[in-house]
């Protein structure tokens, strides 16, 4: 079975406004996401409300999933959406 991805007209219009460098960067990032080799990681800092962070960690613990792993899964899902 082949997966087909559909894009909204709004998304396609935004894509038309990308520069060549932005398109190349996106394609490179996309290729890295789908490669079998591990990519380098980057330490980031993000401010998140304490109640949201606590609830997220609690839900991750209950699901027996490391919370940072879950954050990365959510980020990847959103990028590939």
Looking at the domain assignment, is residue 21 inside a domain? yes
pLDDT at residue number 67: 92
State whether the Cα torsion 23-7-34-47 is positive or negative. Answer: positive
Model confidence pLDDT, tens digit, residues 28-52:
887 877 776 677 888 999 999 999 9
Q: Is the pLDDT of residue 1 over 70?
A: no
Rounded to 5°, the CA angle 34-36-41 comes to: 80
Is 2 among the domain residues?
no
Helices 20-34 & 67-80 angle (0-180, nearest 10): 130
CA dihedral 58, 61, 56, 7 (to 10 degrees): -150
Give the chain's domain count: 1
- Whole-number pLDDT of residue 78: 86
Is 27 domain-assigned? yes
Is 34 within a domain?
Answer: yes
Give the helix ranges, DSSP H, for the chain.
9-16, 20-34, 50-62, 67-80
1 in a domain, yes or no? Answer: no
- Assess if residue 19 is contained within a domain: yes
Specify the pLDDT at position 34.
Answer: 74
Q: Domain residues for 62?
A: 9-80
- Domain membership of residue 49 (yes or no) is yes
């Amino acid at each position: 079975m082949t997966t087909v991805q559909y894009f909204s007209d709004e998304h396609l219009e935004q894509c038309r406004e990308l520069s060549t460098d932005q398109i190349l960067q996106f394609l490179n990032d996309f290729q890295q996401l789908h490669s079998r080799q591990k990519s380098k990681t980057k330490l980031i800092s993000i401010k998140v409300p304490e109640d949201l962070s606590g609830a997220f960690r609690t839900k991750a613990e209950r699901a027996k999933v490391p919370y940072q792993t879950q954050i990365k899964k959510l980020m990847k899902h959103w990028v590939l959406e």
